[in-house]
Structure 1
Amino acid sequence: MRTVGAMNAPLSLIDFCTRLPDESVGEAIQRSVAFAQQAEVLGYERIWYSEHHNMSSIVSSSPAVLISHIGAKTSRIRLGAGGVMLPNHAPYVVAEQFGMLAELYPGRIDLGLGRAPGTDQQTLGRALRRDPRSAENFPQDVQELQAWLSNESPLPGVTAVPGFNTNVPLIILGSSMFGATLAAKLGLPYAFASHFAPQHLEEATAYYREHYQPSARHPEPYCIAAVNVTAADTEEDAKRQTQVVHRNRVRAFMGQQGKVLSDDQVDTVLNSFQGRQITDMLRYTAEGTGEQVAEYLERFRATAQADELMISLQSGSHEETARSMAILAEAWNS
């Protein structure tokens, strides 16, 4: 079997380890295991898990632990954090965690790094005990982490074990010009979160390529762009699934504000300016049959100047997501 992207850019996946209504955390994790196993069979390049806190519907609060579990249930697919919110942690601890993963699963571990909190302000300050100014040290923290994972220690007499000389691949994540600027300056791969923050995609990726400073490990820039996909057997079913996704998005967004909406109220919000703002976060969405989705992704790849596409599958159910994954793999590999 040919690998997905053998004739095109590699395709990878984001898995938020979402917990469905009336589902336990354990059941959500079991679905993520099945998701990774299917992705591996279909030949996807990698799966990333993101650090979120205090979100009842997302259980990937500890990407390193989740990656370790899923790594034991798979054999080939790359696994990584997309990402670890580095200002929440000491770089030394992150080096130990991902150094351990690199030793457990050689050649399969990535480490995407973000500077956002991944949570609300109360959780940030009181539960995580994070200094609100810690994000200002993100560039220095990235370089320190890189040093802990290399064969040079940033502190005399201190070594990250495991971690030392594992050289876990680092990727800077971003949804603004900050990440693009930093990744270009440090000579690191860059991933843009255009699956939920589309506004600065073209500007950021163009800047990254034009200002890239080659590093010993990465002589050429490498850009990953995230994009949503709703693939179905018919165009009509894909449109129906997109409507479900939009309705769920509005319901979740309003729920964060403590508002429980009826179906009629959801429709009213969807047709309002606020609703259009919410759904515009999914502006970059490939929707339709396999052929239609593949054609959209080729255009998106050119727009983003991307070497690799990170896919966020958007469907109304686990079964539809699994089918969408298979349709996309077949179309991209044909």
Structure 2
Amino acid sequence: MSQNKKYTPYSILELASVGVDSSIHQTFENSLDLAQKAEEMGYQRFWLAEHHNMLSIASSATSVLIGYIAGGTKKIRVGSGGIMLPNHSPLIVSEQFGTLGSLYPNRIDLGLGRAPGTDQVTAHAIRSDRMQAVYKFPEEISQIQQYFSAENKRAQVRATVAEGVDVPIYVLGSSTNSAHVAAEKGLPYAFASHFAPTQLFEALNIYYNKFQPSKYLEKPYTIGCINVIAADTDEEAEDISTTLIRMMYGVMTNNMDYMQPPIKMTEELRELAANPAFQRMLKYAFIGSKETVREQTSKFLKETGVNEVMVASHIYNHEDRLKSYRIFSEIMKDLKHK
């Protein structure tokens, strides 16, 4: 599946993680600062997630945050990673992203997923009939495409602000189901291997083998997501990763809390990180020095053949996070010349 190419675009998936002693306002300001710095570092796009009822994640009103980030940057593409479509009306999504696409031409992406982005009780509070919408995911994507088409001006129901606006749609997935949808519709496909790597290769194979060219995309385009914590040394990165380990432990034990500051790595945390359940979820968490992360990233790109890599990070200190993304941008520029 390896692809020989000289340049792999690299992007950011932002969850707007909230630290234990930080405000929501400060979290959003940090997100904007990261996007501005990422633009300077050569990142291709800056996507914002959709999660609900989680103390540690402030990326809930995704389209609002996209407008905030796009308004504070100049050229980096900004989008959703993603809009969890069963939570929303296709018409409203079209109106929101049509508006964004008009305000920031040729800079807005619409990534669509079908997971709830939260627990089932909260998902029911968001939209009580969402399970019906889950099964209609392919049809609702088609609805959005129709609302964005110039031809829809003759329809009884219109999203007038979206008609003819160029906002590319990406299908998001963490299992094989969405791979079929993306392939059949001829749309680009982003896989959440940063937290659900188990079916990555099976999903990519389905997508490549079943891909049908469309007016949106002539040949397959894939994005693989990874976690990265890069620092000057392996030991420093390992200590910074204690924040991620404790956060993932909270997810697995249903005991979510604010993002905690890093501590010196302990044997207990090291054993926790080595737990098979952790290893399954964080198979593609690349933690270490520039050399270590470069080796892991290069291997990931060769094994998967993805067209683009998207990076997520749960790093407590903003300066540490900026440094990690700066190191990663240097890695990708180094790999470009190899």
Amino acid at match of 1:330: E
Higher relative contact order (CA 8 A, sep 6+): 2
C-alpha separation in 2, matches of 1:238 and 1:124: 35
Please say if residues 50 and 63 of structure 1, whose CA atoms lie closer than 8 Å, have aligned partners that are also in contact: yes
**Residue-by-residue CA offset, 1:194-224 (whole Å, 9 max, x unaligned):** 0000100111112111111100220111000
**Residue-by-residue CA offset, 1:291-334 (whole Å, 9 max, x unaligned):** 33223212101222200001112434222111101111122213
C-alpha separation in 1, matches of 2:330 and 2:256: 40
Partner of 1:87: 86
Amino acid at match of 1:302: K
Amino acid at match of 2:181: L
Partner of 1:281: 281
- Secondary structure of 1:287 counterpart: strand
Please say if residues 250 and 269 of structure 1, whose CA atoms lie closer than 8 Å, have aligned partners that are also in contact: no
C-alpha separation in 2, matches of 1:250 and 1:284: 17
**Residue-by-residue CA offset, 1:232-258 (whole Å, 9 max, x unaligned):** 111222222234421332145435379
Partner of 2:57: 58
- Secondary structure of 2:164 counterpart: coil
**Residue-by-residue CA offset, 1:251-277 (whole Å, 9 max, x unaligned):** 45435379xxxx9xx975873699541
C-alpha separation in 2, matches of 1:116 and 1:155: 33
C-alpha separation in 2, matches of 1:68 and 1:172: 21
Matches within 5 A, 1:74-223: 74-153=73-152, 156-223=155-222
C-alpha separation in 1, matches of 2:253 and 2:37: 33
Please identify, of 184-193 and 290-299, the stretch whose mean Cα deviation from structure 2 is larger: 290-299
Alignment gaps of 5+ in structure 1: 1-5
Partner of 2:239: 240
Please say if residues 14 and 311 of structure 1, whose CA atoms lie closer than 8 Å, have aligned partners that are also in contact: yes
**Residue-by-residue CA offset, 1:63-120 (whole Å, 9 max, x unaligned):** 1100101111110110000000111111111011000000111111000000111111
Matches within 5 A, 1:252-331: 252-254=251-253, 256=255, 271=271, 275-331=275-331
C-alpha separation in 2, matches of 1:116 and 1:210: 24
Please say if residues 247 and 270 of structure 1, whose CA atoms lie closer than 8 Å, have aligned partners that are also in contact: no
TM-fit CA distance, 1:159: 2.1
Please identify, of 299-308 and 269-278, the stretch whose mean Cα deviation from structure 2 is larger: 269-278
Stretches of 4+ moved more than 4 A in 1? Answer: 266-270, 272-275
Amino acid at match of 1:320: D
Task: Return closer, same or farther for 1:132/1:27 CA change in 2, 3 Å cut-off.
Answer: same
Partner of 1:20: 19
Please say if residues 99 and 164 of structure 1, whose CA atoms lie closer than 8 Å, have aligned partners that are also in contact: yes
TM-fit CA distance, 1:162: 0.8
Amino acid at match of 1:158: V
C-alpha separation in 1, matches of 2:275 and 2:286: 20
Please say if residues 205 and 305 of structure 1, whose CA atoms lie closer than 8 Å, have aligned partners that are also in contact: no
Q: TM-score, normalised by structure 1?
A: 0.90
C-alpha separation in 1, matches of 2:150 and 2:180: 26
Please say if residues 55 and 256 of structure 2, whose CA atoms lie closer than 8 Å, have aligned partners that are also in contact: no
TM-fit CA distance, 1:278: 3.3
Q: How many residues align?
A: 324
C-alpha separation in 2, matches of 1:195 and 1:269: 20
Please say if residues 229 and 241 of structure 2, whose CA atoms lie closer than 8 Å, have aligned partners that are also in contact: yes
Alignment gaps of 5+ in structure 2: 258-262
Please say if residues 229 and 285 of structure 1, whose CA atoms lie closer than 8 Å, have aligned partners that are also in contact: yes
Partner of 1:3: none
Please say if residues 206 and 305 of structure 1, whose CA atoms lie closer than 8 Å, have aligned partners that are also in contact: no
C-alpha separation in 1, matches of 2:274 and 2:137: 33
C-alpha separation in 2, matches of 1:127 and 1:149: 25
Please say if residues 56 and 256 of structure 2, whose CA atoms lie closer than 8 Å, have aligned partners that are also in contact: no
- Secondary structure of 1:332 counterpart: helix
Please identify, of 175-184 and 145-154, the stretch whose mean Cα deviation from structure 2 is larger: 145-154
Task: Return closer, same or farther for 1:270/1:128 CA change in 2, 3 Å cut-off.
Answer: farther
Please say if residues 243 and 314 of structure 2, whose CA atoms lie closer than 8 Å, have aligned partners that are also in contact: no
Q: What is the root-mean-square deviation in Å for CA atoms of aligned residues?
A: 2.4
